[in-house]
Structure 1
Amino acid sequence: MEKPDECDRVVGDAAFVRGVFDELPIAVAVTQGPEHRLVAANTAYRALTGRPAPAGTPIRELFPELAGQQVYELLDRVYASELPEAIREWRMHLVDQETGAAIEVSLNCHFLPHRSMTTTDRSMIVIVTDVSDRVRERHAAQQRAELAEQRYARAADVIASLQRALLPTGLPVLPRARIAASYLPAEVDTAAGGDWFDAIVLPDGRVALVVGDVVGHGVAASATMSQLRAVLHDRLEPDGDIVAALAAADRVADRVPGARAATVCVAVLDPADGSIRYCTAGHPPPLIASPGGAARYLPPSGSGPLASGRPPAVAAAHLDEGSVLVLYSDGIMERPGRHHEQASAELLQVAGDAAADRALPDPEATAARRVCDQTVELLVRATGHIDDVTVLAAQRTGPPAPVHLETVATPDAVRVLHRTVAGWLAGLGAAGGDVVAVQHAVGELVTNVVYHAYAGAPGPLAVAGTLRPDGTVRIEVSDRGRWRERAPAISGQYRGLGLVMAEAMAGHLRIERGPGGTTAIVTHRLAGPARLLDPDGITPVPPPGTDRADPELLLILEQPAGPPPAIRLDGPITALTSGMMARELQRLTGGGTRDLTVDLTGVTVLASAGVAALQQAVAVCREHGSHLRLHAPSGTVAQHVLSLVAIAHETGKSP
């Protein structure tokens, strides 16, 4: 070992070296021993972390909020292996020492093992670069892009697009189970894999969960995957018979070479009592994560892959209320640089931390949603991935409260019920399209009560909704008024559209009339989103317009001058707001004598009263030889409604 004066001759004066270390523009810290005690930290490190660095303090005491974020585990791994590791853009949650508020940062981290000349304890050099601004800029750009599915469809090749089209776009919304799924495709420079997932509601309220993997990649694997998924879905749907369903899939695998050796995990969950029956046909076994964070794997059922000649064997388990059943593909296990035992332990720990909301806190998300998203993010971010990654989770919950509202039938009741029903549906976990459809249908029925049941006078109005075991929502709108037959339509006007639109939006509408009043019953099967993740950012890209300040205010915004003039409508067009819109259209078109473009991209509700006002404005302009151009891009609320009532409109990008 060199003496201190010999070191000085080699590296320079010790005080000078310490000064240079402290003034380095990048954050550097040194830990020592298995407890990772902080023994050195420069000014940049102290500025980045926002807290003092007392010598000898273990990292776990300095940063207690990092528990569950895989930081301590990485330090332990580097210390034990003495092999350096680096992680790029590591998303962490820290605590502001002044305010106590949680802050999110993205860091590039290098962990370098080191053996000191002055002590026998091994050390570690940690180099940290804050890249939060760069990451935020990229995320901001992604938020301005199209939906993740559209964005990926343009960037990926036709094979990956085909595979995504074959996967389910929605998941059941059930009264006693919250279901979520995340699918991360293989890297763009590799062919798409054969992963699939499915969730099938059975007639008795149970739900069958399926995750499978076809050997190979490319078009053949995607086509084979679609055949197996269709067979299993069809055979499971009537009664959830796992053995019969897998036997049918086995017969397909015998005839289709690409299906041989495909692996499947099927689990049938009864949300009412928590019973589980499952089969792991050559597939990794499911795991269960409890609300407290404990997680465990279920034993394999003992079955082999499809067409292996081994008959399916079914095992049983139980899911407590609040716990999460997790099925997954081996893409999350077979990550670069991880052997099977290590990957299994990491998946178990991260799934438990996510279920307990102690990894990346997100109290607004369900435990199933957190497990699906955060498990993929935390594990894949550290290692990358070479195969598709699929995670499907079901959390057993208590039954949701029904919605029930009794009020007086006035124009303001439409606005109140719009908000109440939309909030209730969103709380159930329904996707945006279902929320819009049911909200529209109920709004039309309530509007009918307000303006027709009592001939404009106030009267009692009741709305009651429940979510049935099969995932169908049932909403009753009842009044004590008198049924009036629809008056004949006047030429050029749209009248009596309310009931037609309600039925078209909701899927099924039944009217019960009697001397004591009228009850309209809407039924609609709900679906929740299945998230297809973006390989660049891993997390899903939210749709544009989700940060609108006031969802009940109709804004009419004149766009920059251009031939012809244009306006944009943002918000709900209902019986309450359609009059204001009609007056503005009349003013801006000069009573129908001038051309005008109306951009309906931001319309959140387009009720029958709004449809009638738009149709009337179009007709008036046509009579005067001018043109009222309606613009409703594909996928918007306005595009759906205008297509339903056959009103001409343009669907390209916003003007």
Structure 2
Amino acid sequence: MTKRGASDDELSAQVGDAGLVRHVFDQMPSILAAVEGPELRIVAATGLYRSWTGRPDVVGTLVRDAFAEVIGQQLFQVFERVYATGESESQRDFRLQFDLPETGEQAEFFVDFSVTPLAGTGEERTGVIVSVADVTERVRERQAAQQRASAAEQRYAQARDMIDSLQRELLPPGVPVLPRVQVAASYLLANAEDSAGGDWFDSLVLPDGRVALVVGDVVGHGVTASATMGQLRVLLHERLATEPDIAAALNGLNAAAHRLRGAQATTVCVVTLDPRTGALEYCTAGHPPPLVLSPSTGNGRYLVPSGAGPIGVGGEFTVATVMNDHIVEGEVVLLYTDGILERPGRELAQSTVELVQASADVAADRALRDDAASTAERVCTQTLELLVRITGHRDDITLLAGQLVPPAPEQVWTIEAVPESLPPFHQQLNEWLTSARITGDDGDALRQAAIELLTNSIEHAYVDSADANEVTVTAVVTDAGHARVQVTDQGRWRPPSPSDDRGLGLQLTEHLVDSLHVDHGERGTTATATLLLHQPARLLSTGDLPWLTPQRPAVRTGPLLVRDDPSAPGPRLRVEGAVDAATVSEVSRGVRTLGSTGMRSLTVDLSGVTHLASAGVAALHRLTALHHGNGSELRLYAPTGTNADMILTLVNVPHHTIDPDLAADQPRLG
């Protein structure tokens, strides 16, 4: 090591001839420079430094003059700190931009550099030494790899969304709503790259009144397995719908499997349940056997496997491969796929025991409390939660449950034909819909249709009669899974004459139900609306597991509230509750008062409206025209998915789906 303060002769003796040392320094394969003094003057630079920076005559210049374009890049501050403190500093992947004098172009580099103190002949610091390594290529390669990974992640996310969407399209959107059998289903996608799977479920009412429950599993994963699953599901559904014999239907599926790619070795479990007797017929074609759960005892039992092999492997389905059993009222039959058994860290025997224990506890309501869900729904969601939240899952999991329940009775109301009868009927109808387990969009549609038909009779049937008269409303869920609402009066038929503000009730009802039949004669009119019912199935991915899924809010049935909002930026009226023939005058009065009878613009917030009858639609038509005629605007606000949005969209009434008082440019429907 060279001693500080050594003479030139001593230095030459230690490190070699000065001329040779300068020559070696200049030839070093390092980007190296030395600067001196607080003004940071460059006093030495290797040849590679000079060529790399494009400045062959840089020695003797101040750093800030030689690289003026770098001043704002926080580089010179590092030199100054090291010179001032004597403590070395270094940086990695430091992005640096400077001009190349020969071309006039700005070059960008990534460098690793270190700055160390430079001592003079004494103890004092005279400057700093800067050592640079050009790592631009390394950083660019890493950035490119990151971009490729990001692009791959984006493609994966897009593919996953496509796969999830494909799976949801190929599976049935829901299960039937029946008077004697409560059906529920959950489907949890595998958390894997090729997450599309071959699991499927199905449920349908057979021509002889029995209910068929089906769960199947195609070998493999990916889009091919998913596409095969979709074809097999439809084939088996059609076979059972036209020929409700399990063996015959499976033989038909067996024959088709030889023509479908990837269909061989598909496992299927088919169960038929007679709602009147509780009799079960079933076949486990290579599939795990169903479970029977008893909520009253808290016990569960596996049915005996039928002994049949999977689809497409050469076996034939006969009477001998179809087994019989029986359940009583309240009991649940549960079908499932092997994804619930083949969970990480579990042997098959252990998983089999865990499944029957967990599902029996859920059926007996001694696991997690969920009063809003039926027993069948709890079994299909809580069983997933209890088992999967601990172990995770590798494969798709499908659960399909059917519970034998007492039939929902036919409901008959005799109602006085006056508008004041509508609010109490609305409450009674909601209670019946709940008891019949009709929820979601089906419940909204039936509620709207029944009110419209009743309102139509109240307003038109007895217009020429001075006596108080009655209307009879009948509601029932048929064994085939149809809801039928019938409204009968003894008045005189008056042909509808649609206009902007009248005759909308029958039009709305036709949009909302599958069929509407009006029979009228001298003794009165009967209007019958029919709707095929479905209960949505839980089609889930890991991101929306059932215990994280919010429940649908209950339908509010309180009194109508019409109030202004003094905190709004302008005149604003909020309407909450049912707007029908009995309450529409209150809404009209509120709009006219706050809008000064159409002279000033007004926002009407309909987000809290639970029922918007044709009488309300007609009133909004008239009020909108009133404001328009006076040069003002009546802004109707009905968020997407609300009852008011559904009805206003059906009848093409312009309205805002985003609050017009919160943003300037709003989507407007109509």
**TM-score w.r.t. length of structure 2:** 0.69
CA offsets 1:371-407 (integer angstroms, 9 cap, x no match)? 1122111111221112221110001122222212223
Residue 297 of structure 1: how far off its partner (Å): 0.9
CA contact (8 A) 1:534 1:541 kept: no
What SS does the aligned partner of 1:271 have? coil
Aligned partner of residue 546 in structure 2, secondary structure = coil
Question: In structure 2, what is the Cα distance between the partners aligned to 1:474 and 1:232?
Answer: 28
The RMSD of aligned alpha carbons is 2.7
Match for 1:477 among 474, 484, 487? 487
Partner SS, residue 178 of structure 1? strand
Q: Pick from 155, 162, 167 the counterpart of residue 166 of structure 2.
A: 162
The amino acid that maps onto 1:528 is Q
Distance 1:158 1:426 in 2: 35
Q: Is the 2:191–2:541 Cα contact (8 Å) retained in structure 1?
A: no
TM-superposed CA distance for 1:177, in Å, is 0.7
Q: Aligned partners of 2:643 and 2:256: how far apart in 1?
A: 41
Which stretch of structure 1 is more off in the superposition, 226-235 or 635-644? 635-644
- Say whether the 8 Å CA contact 1:450–1:458 is kept in structure 2: no
| Partners of 1:266 and 1:280 within 8 A in 2 | yes
User: Residue 650 of structure 1: CA displacement?
Assistant: 4.2
Question: Is 2:352 the counterpart of 1:344?
Answer: yes
Residue in 2 that maps onto 1:463: 473
How far is 1:576 from its partner?
Answer: 2.0
Counterpart residue number, 2:303: 298
Figure out how many residues of one structure are paired with residues of the other and give that number.
499
For 2:558 and 2:158, how far apart are their aligned partners in 1? Answer: 31
* Matched residue SS, 2:212: strand
Question: Residue 125 of structure 2 aligns with which residue?
Answer: none
- 3-state SS of 2:311 partner: coil
Partner of 1:70: none
**Structure 1 stretch displaced more, 254-263 or 539-548:** 539-548
Q: Which of 189, 212, 216 is the equivalent residue of 1:212?
A: 216
Tell whether the 8 Å contact from 1:534 to 1:540 is kept in structure 2 after alignment. Answer: no
Whether 2:529 is the aligned partner of 1:522: answer yes
Partner of 1:570: 576
Per the TM alignment, residue 542 of structure 1 is displaced from its structure 2 partner at its CA by 5.8
Where 2:453 maps in the other structure, the secondary structure is helix
- Where in structure 2 are the equivalents of 1:121-132 lying within 5 Å? none
Contact 2:538–2:546 (Cα < 8 Å) also in 1: no
SS in 2 for 1:237: helix
Task: Report if the CA contact (8 A) 2:269-2:283 is conserved.
Answer: yes
What residue identity is the alignment partner of 1:441?
A
> Structure 2 stretches of 5 or more lacking a match?
1-156, 663-670
Q: 1:549 to 1:277 in 2, by over 3 A?
A: closer
What is the DSSP-based 3-state SS (H/G/I as helix, E as strand, rest coil) of the residue aligned with 2:276?
Answer: coil
The gaps in structure 1 that reach 5 residues or longer are: 1-152
Q: 1:630 aligns with which of 629, 633, 636?
A: 636
Q: Secondary structure at the match of 1:485?
A: coil
* Shift of residue 470, structure 1, vs aligned partner: 0.5
- The DSSP-based 3-state class of the residue aligned with 1:258 is coil
Question: Where does 1:397-412 land on structure 2 (aligned, <5 Å)?
Answer: 397-412=405-420
| Contact 1:554 1:572 (C-alpha < 8 Å) held by counterparts | no
**1:557 to partner: Cα distance:** 5.5
Q: Judging changes above 3 Å, is the alpha-carbon distance between structure 1 residues 173 and 547 closer, same or farther for their aligned structure 2 residues? A: closer
Paired position in structure 2 for 1:34: none
Cα distance change of structure 1 residues 543 and 346 upon mapping to structure 2, 3 Å threshold: closer
Q: Partners in 2 of 1:532 and 1:240 — Cα distance?
A: 27
CA distance in 1, matches of 2:483, 2:195: 40
Distance 1:194 1:275, change over 3 A: same
Task: Select the structure with the greater relative contact order (CA < 8 A; seq sep ≥ 6).
Answer: 1
Amino acid at match of 1:327: L
Does residue 254 of the first structure (1) align with residue 258 of the second (2)? yes
Amino acid at match of 1:570: E
How far does residue 275 in structure 1 lie from its aligned partner after superposition? 1.5
Moved more, 442-451 or 324-333: 442-451
Matched with 1:179 is 183
CA deviation string 1:479-504 (max 9, x = no partner)? 23332334x556xx321111222232
Match of 1:308 in 2: 313
Distance 1:566 1:154 in 2: 42
Q: Distance in 2 between matches of 1:251 and 1:164?
A: 26
Alpha-carbon displacement from aligned partner over 1:310-358 (angstroms, at most 9, x marks no partner) = 1233222212221111100111111111111110011111122222222
C-alpha deviation, 1:626, in angstroms: 3.5
User: Which of 203, 206, 210 is the aligned partner of 1:202?
Assistant: 206
Range that drifts further, 343-352 or 403-412: 403-412
Query: Is the counterpart of residue 375 in structure 1 residue 383 in structure 2?
Result: yes
Which amino acid in structure 2 is aligned with residue 508 of structure 1?
A: S
